[in-house]
Structure 1
Amino acid sequence: MTERAFIPLNIAVLTVSDTRALADDRSGDVLVQRLGDAGHTLAARAILPDERAVIADQLRAWCADPAIDVVISTGGTGLTGRDVTVEAHRDVYEKEIDAFATVFAMISFQKIGTSAVQSRATGGVAQGTYLFALPGSPSACKDAWDGILAAQLDYRHKPCNFVEIMPRLDEHLRRKG
């Protein structure tokens, strides 16, 4: 059996924070480093305030861009009043990847115990683009990438991965022949 070839993806990184700037965006830096180390391309990067409509607009713009395959956001997934990233993601999703949150919680629980219940990490699909919302800590970004995304965004991962079904994500939008 022939080994599958790696397929690099174009990934956008969005940091959601009222206080961060590019110079101190440690979580965004973790994601950029890991996606680059894995062989993927950083397609775009932005830092936005915790404003639901602004976040959703950016997600929609990146989903509409054929040069972006995946969007990973970090920050705004907690329980405080300003944490609206999850709601913004859900405003955009066509389908939610429910098990992403479950698996992330399992990984987090092994590291931080019951504090894992405070995370609302989520994943979904819109316009043929994968979207993932991660907590704003560098450690959580490492856990999500190392424990889930590195494998699922690698076409060589078996028995299945997100990359192999990418061509079919938007099949409902195409005209039937």
Structure 2
Amino acid sequence: MSIQKHKNEQLNVNCMVLTISDTRTEDTDKSGDLIVALLKGAGHHVQMKEIIHDEQTAIERMIDAGCNHPEVEVIITNGGTGIAGRDVTIETIKPLFDKEITGFGELFRSLSYYEDIGSAALLSRAIAGVIENTAVFAVPGSSGAVKLAMNNLILPEVSHVVKEIKKDMT
């Protein structure tokens, strides 16, 4: 399957990378580091990178910090998207959306099924949306999921997403 980038001019966007985990540290945050490397490799800028515990108040506080940072246009989270009791990323972020980008989760699950993990894709709760004119993508914390989401969905469209968010702003 051939993935096509949007034909609009590619903008370099300013991002925040947020790892949500009760166990990851700066030394073990392979998925957060991978997101940073892929963003930088595509010419984008990482303004903030944080690791926080999978707790509602911590997630809300960091999403708010990213949305209110004058140079952050995109927040990419990884982790806390599972179905275990401790996984509260989706329950915390989804109610904050001004608009949900439903196609992101749908496409991620389809790609995960066909290209990565098969029927286990039904457990994925990846989502994306817009909060206060900031694009937010929440992906699972595995390196495979991050690579799939970044290479097939986020990187090809992130400039277009930011352009669409900004087009009506004065």
Which among 27, 33, 43 is matched to residue 29 of structure 1? 33
For 2:34, the aligned partner's letter is V
Residues 72-130 of structure 1: CA deviation (Å, up to 9, x unaligned): 00000000000001111113211111111000001100121110011100001011100
Shift of 1:54: 1.2
Alignment pair present for 1:42 and 2:46 = yes
Gapped runs of 5+ residues in structure 2?
Answer: 1-6
Q: Residue 167 of structure 1 aligns with which residue?
A: 166
Equivalences for 1:88-127 in 2 at 5 Å? 88-110=92-114, 111-127=116-132
Equivalent in the alignment of 2:4: none
Aligned residues of 1:56 and 1:91 also touching (Cα < 8 A): no
* Contact 2:73/2:162 (<8 A) preserved: no
- Which one of the candidate residues 124, 130, 136 is aligned to 1:131? 136
Q: Which runs of 5+ in 1 are unaligned?
A: 155-160
SS at match of 2:27: helix
Aligned to 1:87: 91
Please state if 1:153 is matched with 2:152: no
Structure with bigger gyration radius = 1
Aligned-partner residue type, residue 126 of structure 2: A
Could you give the per-residue CA deviations for residues 112-167 of structure 1, whole angstroms, max 9, x where no partner exists? Answer: 1110011100001011100010001011000000110111013xxxxxx3132131
> Could you tell me whether the CA contact under 8 Å between 1:10 and 1:69 is conserved in 2?
yes
Q: How many residues in Structure 1 have an aligned counterpart in Structure 2?
A: 163
Q: CA deviation at 1:5?
A: 4.5
Normalising by the residue count of structure 1, what TM-score does the alignment of the two structures yield?
0.87
Superimposed CA distance per residue, residues 57-80 of structure 1 (whole angstroms, 9 cap, x where no aligned partner): 110111011210000000000000
Change (3 A) 1:4 1:115: closer
Structure 1 stretches of 4+ with a deviation exceeding 2 A read 3-6
Higher RCO structure, 1 or 2 (CA under 8 Å, sep 6+): 2
State, as a whole percentage, how many aligned pairs show the same letter: 37
Q: 1:76 aligns with which of 80, 83, 88?
A: 80
Q: Does 1:54 align with 2:53?
A: no
| In structure 2, distance between residues paired with 1:38 and 1:88 | 29
Q: Distance in 2 between matches of 1:5 and 1:144?
A: 21
CA distance, structure 2, for counterparts of residue 96 and residue 53 of structure 1: 21
Partner of 1:157: none
Partner Cα distance (2:8, 2:130) in 1: 24
